[in-house]
Amino acid sequence: MALRRCLFLFGLLLLLPLIAGPLLSSAARAQDLPDLLSGLTDSDPKPAITALMASDDPQAKAALAALAAGRLYRRLADNAIIIGEVDGNMIVVTNAATGIVEDMAEPADLELLELNDAAKADLAAAGLGAVADDTPKDFASAVVALNAADFAAKGKAIEVLTQLADPRAVPVLRAMADGRLFTRKSDGVVVIADRSGNEQRLTLATTLEAAGFANNAALDPVVVNNNLRIVLREAVGRLGLLSTDAAQRRAAANALLEGATPDAVALLREVTPKEANAQAKQAMSLALAAADLTDPAADKQRKLAAVATLTSSTDLRVRSLIQARLSAEPDADVKAALQSAFTSVQRKLAVIGWVANIFQGISLGSVLLLAAVGLAITFGVMGVINMAHGEMIMIGAYATYVVQEIFRAYLPPSWFGGYLVAALPVAFLTAAVVGVAIERGVIRFLYGRPLETMLATWGVSLILQQAVRSVFGAPNKEVSNPSWMTGSFELVGGFDVTWNRVIIIVFCFLVLGLIALILRRTSFGLHMRAVTQNRGMASVMGIPTARVDAFTFALGSGIAGMAGVALSQIGNVSPNLGTIYIVDSFLVVVFGGVGNLMGTLVGAMTLGIVNKLLEPVAGAVLGKVVVLVAIILFIQKRPRGLFAAKGRSADA
């Protein structure tokens, strides 16, 4: 028995090192890592480097990689070894022992760890020195490297893309600068994301091919710091200046107007004389003038020439630049030229501001016209105050949202731009059917009782709003613009016009023309005008007034649904969308004249332009109050509006 116990204890002693050894070794390594890192500051760091190479701790490998890249520092305050990433004038501090990002530090608070030749040779032999060249060599690998773990590698990838001068790099780098470059969590692929409704429309960054849609939760952003933003702006500018597309060259020159490095200025001086496109050349000249004006080495003549060039601009950035230089310019002649240029630019911007306000007024007027024209028809023919008219607009907007989601879910991405065209008849028919149901189910029993009609339709509007909340939920739904409605163009210097506004204005007048054609060139229009002028006589002549009422209400409601399609392109879709426009719609109808298309057009445009002209002076709320008071006073003088209805019923 004693012999057995001795043999058991002897075996246990043999197994104990095998069991405890790895645990003790791991604990020792965890405890020794800060000591090993501190050893890098010794006069002979070779033992510490050798020990770190032998370690299987990932933090040890990261520290060696940072040491080889020249990013390992000693913090003077506590002698801790940290990994530093330059960000502007500061350095992002990551604890080398723990891998935790701690804070930002001034460069003066840190000491860079430098290597002797022997240590460099050891790192090179381990594949961590200068011989290890991980610089991407082609476009695809450089795009992938934009999502590298450290900012230095990202900067290297941006440099490679700039040197390759591939035009595909411009949208990629611009997306990175704008915060629209992501990686898909599912496969790590780098994509450009553009918001489309509640999702993101994806484009493969390596090929610029469409890649479908994804939720925000499925994407990780490619992070940039202040240094990289400056590098990106410079890269986009340089690549754009060498592009074969005049629009990209102009955009690049505009980007360099805010600031350009000496290399970019030299490239501008080289390409500007060769530029054939007038607008691109003008933008390049402005960027050069801005660089000359802020160049401390520029002489007086160069500055005066730069001021003369900038005087022709109407860019807000030019005004800010001139205003900033006014207080800093020591030369009296240049300062006087700057003052004259500032006055000239300010005067031009004031004129452009008026033009912009008038355009915004026309845009608002077109929206009011679309919202009010259906109401003008039903109000004029039937004399019905339809408080649910705004909900017909809402139904058209939600019909657009449904069509968009169907296109997105069941059709190829290349077909997505056609959803808006398909949404027009769907919205018209949906709103028209709901309108007929309201007329047949409620309004036809209340003809000749305006107060009861108003209260009943108000109740219907509340029911429709709650029904939409029950089906679609209370949160707003975003309807994205098709590609052919996105973007803008410069109408006047400094004033950009968006395509969606222009298309809505054109669409508004097309709808108005179509309605005028129906009223003037169809038998239904003839019957509608007859009922409007004298309902009793029209009935005696055999016109089915009840059917005309139903079809008129359907037409007015359908037009409101088409207005909802247009409104979905300039704002969010919500259950309260119709209530925003119902009051303004009634103001337009009353001001222009009941049942008169020309009056509705003039009333909508007048209200839209006057509102936008008053907003800069009186503010949006006070401006609406002024307009409301003016209309009340006008109605006191002309109760039938600008264009009074004609006929026996109107005279009665």
- Across 205-271, the runs of DSSP E, i.e. the strands, are 210-214, 219-221
- Judged against a pLDDT cut of 60, whether residue 27 lies above it is answered with no
φ/ψ of 453, rounded to 5, equals -60, -45
Burial label, 561 (beta-carbon count in 10 A; 0-12, 13-18, 19+): buried
Residue 605 has pLDDT above 60, yes or no: yes
Q: Which residue has the tokens 């139903």?
A: 550
The domains located in the chain, with CATH, are 37-132 (no CATH), 134-242 (no CATH), 352-651 (1.10.3470)
Q: Is the dihedral of CA 547, 553, 556, 561 positive or negative?
A: negative
- d(CA 294, CA 286) in angstroms, rounded, equals 12
The CA-atom distances, in angstroms, between 21 and each of 14, 15, 405, 475, 577 are 12, 10, 62, 60, 72
Strand, helix or coil at 644? coil
Q: How many CB atoms lie within 10 A of CB 537?
A: 14
Picking from 285, 553, 564, 179, the residue whose alpha carbon sits closest to that of residue 403 is 564
**Which of 82, 81, 64 lies closest to 122 in space, CA to CA?**
64
3 pLDDT tier (thresholds 50, 70, 90)? very low
- In this structure, what token pair is assigned to residue 534? 């004298």
Q: Are 318 and 309 in contact (CB under 8 A)?
A: no
Going from the C-alpha of 41 to that of each of 79, 113, 177, 243, the distances in angstroms are: 9, 7, 38, 49
**What is the separation of C-alpha 178 from the centre of its chain, rounded to a whole number of angstroms?**
10
Model-level pTM? 0.64
114: number of Cβ within 10 Å: 11
**Residue 87 pLDDT:** 60
pLDDT, mean of residues 246-259: 80
Question: Does residue 306 register a pLDDT over 70?
Answer: yes
Q: Which pLDDT score is estimated for 646?
A: 56
Distance of alpha carbon 552 from alpha carbon 443, whole angstroms: 13
Query: Parallel, antiparallel, or unpaired: how do β-strands 190-196 and 181-184 relate?
Result: antiparallel
Cβ atoms of 568 and 404 within 8 Å: the answer is no
Using pLDDT thresholds of 50, 70 and 90, give the confidence band for residue 13: very low
**Alpha-carbon Rg for the chain in angstroms:** 35
For residue range 505-533, what is the model confidence (pLDDT) as tens digits?
999 999 888 988 988 888 888 888 787 77
Q: Rounded distance, CA 147 to CA 154, Å?
A: 7
In sequence order, what are the residues at sequence separation of 6 or more whose Cβ sits closer than 8 angstroms to the Cβ of residue 225?
85, 87, 88, 92, 151
Spatial distance between the Cα atoms of 164 and 566, rounded to a whole number of angstroms? 43
**Rounded distance, CA 175 to CA 232, Å?**
10
Confidence of residue 561 (pLDDT cuts 50, 70, 90): very high
Distance CA(603)–CA(376), nearest Å, equals: 11
Q: Taking each helix axis as running N to C, give the angle between helix 58-69 and helix 46-54, from 0 to 180 degrees, rounded to the nearest 10.
A: 140
Tell me: pLDDT of 112 over 90: no
| Residue 94: count of CB within 10 angstroms of its CB | 21
* Per-residue pLDDT tens digits for 346-361: 888 888 888 888 888 8
Residue 130: band (very low, low, confident or very high) from pLDDT cuts 50, 70, 90: very low
Question: What's the average model confidence in pLDDT over 389-404?
Answer: 92
Sign for the pseudo-dihedral over CA of 559, 561, 562, 568: positive
* Alpha helices by DSSP H, 442-498: 450-472
Amino acid identity, position 398: Y
What are the tens digits of pLDDT across the range 635-652?
Answer: 888 877 777 655 444 444
Residue 426 has pLDDT above 90, yes or no: yes
Per-residue CA distances from 191 to 2, 143, 487 (Å): 74, 10, 21
From 163, 205, 152, 155, select the one nearest 182 (Cα to Cα).
205
Place of tokens 């965890």: 30
